Amino acid sequence: MTDELDDLSRRYVELGFGIERHIEGTVDAYFGPAAIRDEALAVPVPSPGDLLDRATSLLADVTAAELPPSRTDYLTAQVQALHTTCRKLAGEVIPYRDEVRLCFDIEPEKIPETTYDEAIAQLGDALPGDGDVASRMIAWREQFEIPVDTARLVIETIANEARSRSSAFAPLPEGEGIEVSMVSGQPWSGYNWYLGGCRSLIEINTDLPIRANALLDLICHEGYPGHHTEHAVKEQSLYRERGYGEHAIQLINTPECVISEGIATLAESIVFTSEDAAAWRQEHLYRPVGIEVDTVRERQIADAQRALKSVAGNAALLLHDEGMAEHDVVAYIERFGLETSERARHRYSFIADPLWRAYVFTYHVGYDLLGAWLDMPEEPEEAEAAATDAILQTRRQARFARLLADQVTPSAIQSQVGE
């Protein structure tokens, strides 16, 4: 077991904890040497200027170090993000788009509202009932709402199935496991708290309705083969085995979050095809609780809804880049996200939160970027044309396993995908 960090990793960890002293929640997880954490939290709170100097020095030293190229790229992108946060702490006003770009190694783009209008029109054709699309969408969602106690009963079934399917293409570290807990008073719907030692605590926010049709995606997202699986595999392969101490800590508002959220938002599709997921939910989630759903209609609605996943990113740009008033941003989320006013306000609270205000882009950008990489065709074209759905899914799983285990950055993935 690794009990020491090299100089660059140690300084990286110490910088992360230094920022944590100013911005609580920056350190999402730490499972490295306890002495380094304890010392970083025991010393006087470092000034923003000191943190900025340390970030500047670390960035230069990472660039100059003779590290494997993938590690250099990863650390450079990560430290650039921390450097940006330190600039903000030191009082510099950084335009919102630049903040997103520098913290996450991505380009924040506003999606044309015509994209949402087209998706909403498709939903209008697919949703049952009469009336406006928003009301019918809300009614569609509400039919899936189940009590917390019922959710607890089915979550174990979901986790066991998702774990079994994940382990078939991505060997899981010995002793890994998850625990699921219900909580309230949080800005998110679900969260993975990685505990180290290949263990995770997954919390589900009961302030929001728990829907049977969302639970499979939620457990895949937070657990298998999503956040928990990635964290456990990387702890074992990158930190424990290769000694890359930067993977003993997980930091919010850094490029690794784009990769992590991309993995998580794609997780269900890696272990369940669309048809398979619909059939599995019907048998294991809906029938036991008396929910009757047309699975063909369900898939049509899910496909159309996918185009709305970037609504929160647009809302964040309207709020932080264009200065739109709060009530107008909430109304925007209601209109294009087809949300209730309560749910829209909850989503607003996330994009308005100082810690999470830029993070919102990690979800849809990560999904689109990694999804495009997973679906890149092989050469030659003749072989690609002959590939069956099963072959394509096996290839996606093999590539996904690489994302779980390797050091990658958004820009590195983008360079392979192309514009």
pLDDT digits (tens, 9 = 90+) for 18-47: 999 999 999 999 999 999 999 999 999 999
Mean pLDDT of 216-226: 98
The answer to whether 78 touches 93, Cβ cutoff 8 Å, is: no
Residue 18 included in any domain: no
Pairing of strands 27-30, 249-251: antiparallel
In a domain, 407, yes or no: yes
Q: Which band of pLDDT confidence, cut at 50, 70 and 90, is reported for residue 186?
A: confident
pLDDT at 2 over 60: no
- Checking DSSP bridges between strand 199-205 and strand 177-183, what pairing results, if any? parallel
Nearest-angstrom CA–CA distance, 49 and 328: 37
Residue 120 lies in a domain: no
Residue 402 lies in a domain: yes
Query: If you average pLDDT over every residue of the chain, what do you get?
Result: 95
Predicted pLDDT of residue 189: 86
Q: What is the pLDDT of residue 384?
A: 62
Residue 207 lies in a domain: yes
Residues 271, 284: Cα–Cα separation, whole Å: 16
- In-domain check, residue 129: no
Q: Is residue 243 within 8 Å of residue 2, measured between CB atoms? A: yes
Query: How far, rounded to the nearest angstrom, does the alpha carbon of residue 249 sit from its chain's CA centroid?
Result: 16
- Please check whether residue 80 lies inside any domain of the structure: no
Residues 72, 63: Cα–Cα separation, whole Å: 7
Number of domains the chain is built from? 1
Q: Write the DSSP symbol of residue 211.
A: B
What is the average pLDDT across 64-68?
A: 96
Q: What is the pLDDT of residues 309-355, one digit of tens each?
A: 999 999 999 999 999 999 999 999 999 999 999 999 999 999 999 99
- Residue 84 covered by a domain: no
196 φψ region: left (φ > 0), alpha (ψ -120 to 50), beta (else): left
Mean pLDDT of 100-117: 98
pLDDT 10s digits, 348-401: 999 999 999 999 999 999 999 999 999 998 866 656 666 788 889 999 999 999
Q: How confident is the model at residue 1 (pLDDT cuts 50, 70, 90)?
A: very low
pLDDT band at 182 (very low <50, low <70, confident <90, very high): very high
Range of the domain at 275: 144-292+310-417
What is the spatial distance between Cα 353 and Cα 359, in angstroms, rounded to a whole number? 10
Query: How far apart are the C-alpha atoms of 365 and 241, rounded to whole Å?
Result: 30
Q: Are 136 and 129 in contact (CB under 8 A)?
A: yes
244 pLDDT more than 70: yes
Each residue's pLDDT tens digit, 136-163: 999 999 999 999 999 999 999 999 999 9
Return the closest-CA partner of residue 70 out of 251, 320, 220, 238: 238
Position 3 pLDDT exceeds 80? no
Render pLDDT for 275-313 as a digit per residue (tens, 0 to 9): 999 999 999 999 999 999 999 999 999 999 999 999 999
pTM over 0.85: yes
Rounded Cα–Cα distance for residues 145 and 213 (Å):
8
Q: Is the pLDDT of residue 188 over 90?
A: no
pLDDT of res. 385: 64
Question: What is the structure's pLDDT at 109?
Answer: 96
pLDDT for res 380: 60
pLDDT of residue 418: 83
